[in-house]
Amino acid sequence: MFSKILIANRGEIACRIIRTARRLGVRTVAVYSDADIGAMHVALADEAIHIGAAAAGESYLSKEKIIAAAGRANAEAIHPGYGFLSENADFAEAVEKAGLVFIGPSPGSIRAMGLKDAAKALMERAGVPVVPGYHGERQEPGFLIEQAGSIGFPVLIKARAGGGGKGMRRVDRPDDFPAALEAAKREAKSAFGDDAVLIEKYLIQPRHIEIQVFGDSQGNVVHLFERDCSLQRRHQKVIEEAPAPGMTQEMRSAMGGAAVRAARAIDYRGAGTVEFIVDVSDGLSPDHFFFMEMNTRLQVEHPVTEAIAGVDLVEWQLRIAGGEPLPKTQAELAINGWAFEARIYAEDPSRGFLPATGTLSHLRFPDGDVRIDAGVREGDSITPHYDPLIAKLTVHAPDRPAALARLTRALEQTQVAGTTTNLDFLIRLSRQPDFFAGRPDTGLIDREAEA
């Protein structure tokens, strides 16, 4: 095990990594920007190093400053968390070049999954079902509209470099295609510096079901079951659960097997998530799930998996990065109970989920039976510089109704003053009849908003 690691991140994920490191006797080094001098992750870490201005480009996204800080602190490894540099292959490579361990997959694995078009082509070759569509090189508008026609409308135009739900346009009719293509390309260019797109069949009312995978450097790969992340607003997850409602053993082993094949195809090491979209028009059926993308990092919603599988995924990450084999075999892993996670954000659901800011003059979380992953304390501020996540609330119970009741109660007992939040929205959502009955789909929130 390492004796000291640097955490190249901030907020809740930095705090969460510190907690496990401390339990394992690993010293932690935080990095922080001008905006985070008094931040919780800085207070929790054993050491903290200032790396620059508030703008992420000057601090949390600066490869050079972060690697220099690790050198200065004599850290042996860097944990990137999620977001920022976590899926940046050049960063992983630079970390290794500096003689440090990157707590994550190899630069080659990150690159293989970095672009959605190349990743889909690779997965097809590995025998993993992919969303029907065009994911080749050609980008001429005339050619793409022809492809859209043969795929059949509605289609989804997707930036190949996309992430966070950006650079996507649903197109229902051929006439709308040229303008949507232009808009998607414009958005992709400005958000990702790459305007290439792929075209997918747009699935109506599908579910998002993803599989947690883990590999070690000895070549072992396991999956830790599924998470259902179908409750989304603007293609971003809001409430996640594990296991997925209605999941059958047959479907789970088909999806788990496909995810393990995906990981093996890229010699995967560490924590990863293979995201699938599932056509549920005929129920959950093993020939109706399709690879969308793989996130080569720890995922925001990893606590629901930790709850049902009874493991600490950050501990697994640290052990594997240190060269140890996977702590458990597939046969030793089992699902226990049901878990939900809700993401509490400073945002205004009534204004298109516009991010909000403010100083948290009052902040109370429920005690007992609830896991709170917060990155802020009472008195801290949510600033416009970073993700406006306040906390993640995770509940675990023997079955889905009990877990959902616990989620609603925990949300009702949470108090936040000083900024607008999505708390009321989450409480309403936790009681929404289709969700309550175990029938989530990715369009549910938008339909509710229109109703």
Q: Show which residues are catalytic.
A: 297
Site string for ligand ADP, 402-421 (x = CB under 6 A): --------------------
Cα–Cα distance for residue pair 358/392, rounded to 1 Å: 18
Under 8 Å between Cβ of 107 and 101: no
Crossing angle between the packed helical segments 423-430 and 400-412, to the nearest 10 degrees: 150
Q: How far is the CB of 105 from Mg ion (least distance, A)?
A: 17
The item of ligand ADP, Mg ion, none sharing an interface with residue 388, based on CB under 5 to 8 Å by kind, is: none
Q: How far is the CB of 172 from ligand ADP (least distance, A)?
A: 12
Contacting ligand ADP (CB under 6 A), which of 27, 41, 208, 385? Answer: 208
> Cβ closer to ligand ADP: 20 or 27?
20
Q: How far is the CB of 237 from ligand ADP (least distance, A)?
A: 5
DSSP states along 288-350: SEEEEEEE-S--TTHHHHHHHHT--HHHHHHHHHTTPPPSS-GGG----SEEEEEEEESEEGG
Phi/psi of residue 146, nearest 5 degrees: -60, -45
Tell whether residue 203 is a contact of ligand ADP (CB under 6 A): yes
Task: Report the chain's terminal Cα–Cα distance, integer Å.
Answer: 53
Site string for Mg ion, 237-276 (x = CB under 5 A): --------------------------------------x-
Residues 125-144 that bind ligand ADP (CB under 6 A): 131
> Under rule CB under 5 A, how many of the chain's residues touch Mg ion?
1
Cα–Cα distance for residue pair 256/226, rounded to 1 Å: 8
Cα–Cα distance for residue pair 247/259, rounded to 1 Å: 16
Under 8 Å between Cβ of 21 and 94: no
> Cβ closer to Mg ion: 108 or 164?
164
Paired residues of 381 in beta bridges: 359
* DSSP-based three-state secondary structure for 35: helix
Tell whether residue 164 is a contact of ligand ADP (CB under 6 A): yes
Q: How many residues does the chain have?
A: 451
Tell whether residue 119 is a contact of ligand ADP (CB under 6 A): no
Tell whether residue 275 is a contact of ligand ADP (CB under 6 A): yes
Structure tokens at 289: 């799930």
Structure tokens at 283: 């129920």
Tell whether residue 271 is a contact of ligand ADP (CB under 6 A): no
> Cβ closer to ligand ADP: 1 or 311?
311
CB neighbours (10 Å) of residue 429?
A: 24
* DSSP-based three-state secondary structure for 241: strand
Q: How far is the CB of 362 from Mg ion (least distance, A)?
A: 34
Tell whether residue 347 is a contact of ligand ADP (CB under 6 A): no
For residue 328, CA distances in Å to 95, 214, 224, 325 come to: 28, 10, 10, 9
> Cβ closer to ligand ADP: 65 or 208?
208
Contacting ligand ADP (CB under 6 A), which of 80, 105, 107, 162? Answer: 162
The item of Mg ion, ligand ADP, none sharing an interface with residue 341, based on CB under 5 to 8 Å by kind, is: none
* DSSP-based three-state secondary structure for 24: coil
Q: How far is the CB of 314 from ligand ADP (least distance, A)?
A: 14
Q: How far is the CB of 293 from Mg ion (least distance, A)?
A: 5
Indicate the residue whose CB is closest to ligand ADP: 83
Under 8 Å between Cβ of 196 and 117: yes
| Interacting residue ranges for Mg ion, rule: CB under 5 A | 275
| Interacting residue ranges for ligand ADP, rule: CB under 6 A | 56, 82-84, 131, 156, 162-165, 200-203, 206, 208, 232, 235-237, 275, 277, 292-293, 295, 299-301, 386-387, 442
